[in-house]
Structure 1
Amino acid sequence: MAMESSLWSTCDYSHNVTFFYNWVGKKISVVWTTRDFVVIGLGLTVCFIVVLANLMVMVAISMNHRFHFPIYYLLGNMAAADLFAGIAYANLMLNTGPWTSSLTKEQWYIRGALIDISLTASVANLLAVAVERHQTIITMQLHSKMTKRRVVLLIVCIWAVSIIMGLVPSLFWNCECDLDDCSTVAPLYSRRFLIFWAVLNLLTFFIMVAVYTRIFIYVRYQTSYSSRHTSEMRHRQTVVNLMKTIFMVLGAFVICWMPGLVTLLLDGLLGKASHANAFEKFCLVIAECNSLVNPIIYSLRDDEMRRTFKWILCCLCRRGADQQRELSPVEIDPPLPEVEDLGPVQKSEDRAVLTEINSKEDCWTMPGV
């Protein structure tokens, strides 16, 4: 009991943000430098594009009844997470550089929590989409068995976990009671928390690799079997198209996230010796780019999504020129009764797999990963 009381007495909550930055040797700019302008300029540009791209995805999914299915609800939620990431990162850019010293600890924790929540939600949605793709393909379903209630529950769980992960550092997993555990990248965060967060995201990546690898092997086996009755050219093209989509998903995740995760691991393990401050801001910009790549991979590769985007843009362009002629969302073609769009993959790929794999079974959709 005495030991616990002694440990608690070492906590000093009177220190301000500048104290922690000076403690870990992270310099707060007194005047604006060229590096600050470059980082903020790149960051705000990426944020603007991220918000617009993901907002377009959300509007398209809500307006087109073809997209009112579980997979598109998950894609819409991922777009919402990425949009939130763009807003959170813009807030970070507007509270960095010389402005950092004017932040209170509560403002600093909120700034970090917004980033943690949005990025965790984005990664969690990537994993949810991968699991849904796996379930649909392996069970050879035309429609996902996931009900709207389950989809809503899954979305709520994703945001609940993300919010918890964002609040953990500010509530109890920080270094205010253990200054030797302070991170050099995020001076008020515990280095052990950064290790935990980085390892958790790396684990998510390996799960995604395992899921997509099983999907690829399964589809390749099925197309190899059915290719005995079809042309070898179509068989190879189907496998190549699926491989491209998988490599795009995993490649984007690796390129955007790996530098930041490695930086966090080095900072957590080595502390000041990692010299992570030299490049941590640029790693964060690259990680934010994943929120821009996601709508391109998961949405813009879908023909129907592109048509919906064109329809929305045409409506916006015509509104000023011809206000009396307004197009209603019902004018978008309703979903066809035979085939449901379950994934953002080119429909030519879907038809190829429908023809090749299901000679005896009910047709199923090969979703985009």
Structure 2
Amino acid sequence: MNECHYDKRMDFFYNRSNAATADEWSGTSLVIVLCFGTFFCLFIFLSNSLVIAAVVKNKKFHFPFYYLLANLAAADFFAGIAYVFLMFNTGPVSKTLTVNRWFLRQGLLDTSLTASLANLLVIAVERHLSVVRMRVHSNLTKKRVTFFILLIWAIAIFMGAVPTLGWNCLCDISTCSSLAPIYSRSYLIFWTVSNLGVFFIMVVVYIRIYMYVQRKTNVLSPHTSGSISRRRTPMKLMKTVMAVLGAFVVCWTPGLVVLLLDGLNCTHCEVQNVKRWFLLLALLNSVMNPIIYSFKDDEMSSTMRRMICCSFEDRNQERRSSRIPSTVFNRSTDSSSQYFENGIGQGIITSKENA
């Protein structure tokens, strides 16, 4: 019977996995990663909060597509939280973590990835429904959209908790991976293959939808009444989705391939040397999405600009009001000043009447 090691700290598993690079994170590379990570996380929080606020504020965005887009922004915001937690629990600190804390660290990352991936899949379904009916937006009700959003997060939380629930190597150390010292290699293979498979399926689906929309638009545009901008709206939305999906695949695929190689026990692949940089690349995805929204969607861009300008105007008004000297007046002073103003007003009226 195999012995379980739930009470061990992570240094026990890192030493067995020969993950010597954990000590190297105390050097210049750790400082660079933390600096870039901090900047990216701050941008993630601010930009994705702005996207969510824009969808809530602008009534033109009260449609299923934009609700799901806001949920994708929420997934990116959650990814920022996961990266902040990772930054405070990485480097030399990694070896001092308990098993449960390390599971929490990795579970947050897995949950954010699954939430983004599941959200893109639901957006693909929504786009397919709208394209088949040749509409800008599908006729999904708010209840169904809410159900899909809750389902996305339920699946994401479950997938993030799977290793904690038992699919790990705590009771069979010989099956532990190198990059994730308490993850079973079989789980890494399952997780990466399933994600890469969903990547491939979504790319094929979106390419087919894009080609279908383009073909229908070219055929029907000479015979369809309405403004040109209205006919181009479905294509603009599809370009936005394709850009988001493309950025997601580019940023996450290298890291997933590295995890797959580790799961396959590739001892000559030197996966330890590239893991931190691929992690930053994955973090970059949550930074790119709000930029894509603002550049690809004119209405989203204008809404975000108005919100930013309004916030700056409010701050300027507060600063101007704070510059006015504030003195405490008693009642006599207030009444005298009011009498003075009323007297001036009456004097002006009297002079006009006499004239």
Q: TM-score, normalised by structure 1?
A: 0.78
Of 112-121 and 24-33, more deviation after overlay is shown by: 24-33
Q: Which residue of 2 aligns with 1:62?
A: 56
For the pair 1:268 / 2:263, whether they are aligned, the reply is yes
Q: Which has the larger radius of gyration?
A: 2
Task: Tell me if the contact between 2:176 and 2:185 (Cα under 8 Å) persists in the aligned partners.
Answer: yes
For the pair 1:149 / 2:143, whether they are aligned, the reply is yes
Of 292-301 and 151-160, more deviation after overlay is shown by: 292-301
For the pair 1:317 / 2:312, whether they are aligned, the reply is yes
**Counterpart among 74, 77, 89 of residue 80 in structure 1:** 74
SS at match of 1:175: coil
Superposed, 1:132-211 pairs within 5 Å as: 132-211=126-205
Structure with larger RCO (C-alpha < 8 A, sep 6+): 1
CA–CA separation in structure 2 for the residues paired with 1:77 and 1:247: 17
CA–CA separation in structure 2 for the residues paired with 1:240 and 1:14: 55
CA–CA separation in structure 2 for the residues paired with 1:322 and 1:250: 41
**1:67-98 CA deviation, whole Å, 9 max, x = no partner?**
11111110111101100101111110111111
> Aligned partner of 2:143: which letter?
R
Of 293-302 and 97-106, more deviation after overlay is shown by: 293-302
Distance 1:152 1:31, change over 3 A: closer
Q: Which residue of 2 aligns with 1:335?
A: none
**Counterpart among 45, 48, 51 of residue 51 in structure 1:** 45
SS at match of 1:132: helix
Task: Tell me if the contact between 1:138 and 1:215 (Cα under 8 Å) persists in the aligned partners.
Answer: no
**1:123-166 CA deviation, whole Å, 9 max, x = no partner?**
11112112211211121135421111101110011000000011
Query: Cα RMSD between the aligned structures?
Result: 2.6
CA–CA separation in structure 2 for the residues paired with 1:120 and 1:36: 27
For the pair 1:248 / 2:221, whether they are aligned, the reply is no
**Counterpart among 12, 15, 37 of residue 8 in structure 2:** 15
Q: Which residue of 1 aligns with 2:289?
A: 294
> Aligned partner of 1:84: which letter?
F
Q: Which residue of 1 aligns with 2:115?
A: 121
Determine what percentage of the aligned residue pairs are the same residue: 48
Q: Which residue of 2 aligns with 1:336?
A: none
- Structure 1, unmatched stretches of 5+, are 1-7, 326-369
CA–CA separation in structure 2 for the residues paired with 1:302 and 1:244: 9
CA–CA separation in structure 2 for the residues paired with 1:315 and 1:49: 19
Task: Tell me if the contact between 1:184 and 1:271 (Cα under 8 Å) persists in the aligned partners.
Answer: no
Distance 1:229 1:312, change over 3 A: closer
**Counterpart among 83, 108, 113 of residue 102 in structure 2:** 108
Deviation of 1:205 (Å):
1.0
> Aligned partner of 1:265: which letter?
L
CA–CA separation in structure 1 for the residues paired with 2:235 and 2:149: 32
SS at match of 1:270: coil
**1:230-276 CA deviation, whole Å, 9 max, x = no partner?**
9xxx9xxx799788656634431332011101101100002444321
SS at match of 1:29: helix
CA–CA separation in structure 2 for the residues paired with 1:30 and 1:134: 48
SS at match of 2:190: helix
CA–CA separation in structure 1 for the residues paired with 2:115 and 2:146: 14
Of 297-306 and 156-165, more deviation after overlay is shown by: 297-306
**Counterpart among 253, 261, 277 of residue 258 in structure 1:** 253
Task: Tell me if the contact between 1:131 and 1:211 (Cα under 8 Å) persists in the aligned partners.
Answer: no
Q: Which residue of 1 aligns with 2:353?
A: none
Q: Which residue of 1 aligns with 2:18?
A: 25
Deviation of 1:227 (Å):
6.2
Task: Tell me if the contact between 1:24 and 1:272 (Cα under 8 Å) persists in the aligned partners.
Answer: no
Size of the alignment, in residue pairs?
Answer: 313
For the pair 1:40 / 2:34, whether they are aligned, the reply is yes
CA–CA separation in structure 2 for the residues paired with 1:207 and 1:134: 14
**Counterpart among 301, 306, 310 of residue 306 in structure 1:** 301
- Structure 2, unmatched stretches of 5+, are 321-355
CA–CA separation in structure 1 for the residues paired with 2:78 and 2:202: 23
> Aligned partner of 2:259: which letter?
L
**1:326-366 CA deviation, whole Å, 9 max, x = no partner?**
xxxxxxxxxxxxxxxxxxxxxxxxxxxxxxxxxxxxxxxxx
Superposed, 1:279-290 pairs within 5 Å as: 279-290=274-285
Deviation of 1:196 (Å):
1.1
**Counterpart among 210, 213, 222 of residue 207 in structure 2:** 213
Distance 1:25 1:151, change over 3 A: same
Q: TM-score, normalised by structure 2?
A: 0.81
Of 75-84 and 208-217, more deviation after overlay is shown by: 208-217
**1:167-226 CA deviation, whole Å, 9 max, x = no partner?**
111220111111121111111111111111111111111121122122122123223424
SS at match of 1:146: coil
Per residue, is there more helix in 1 or in 2? Answer: 2
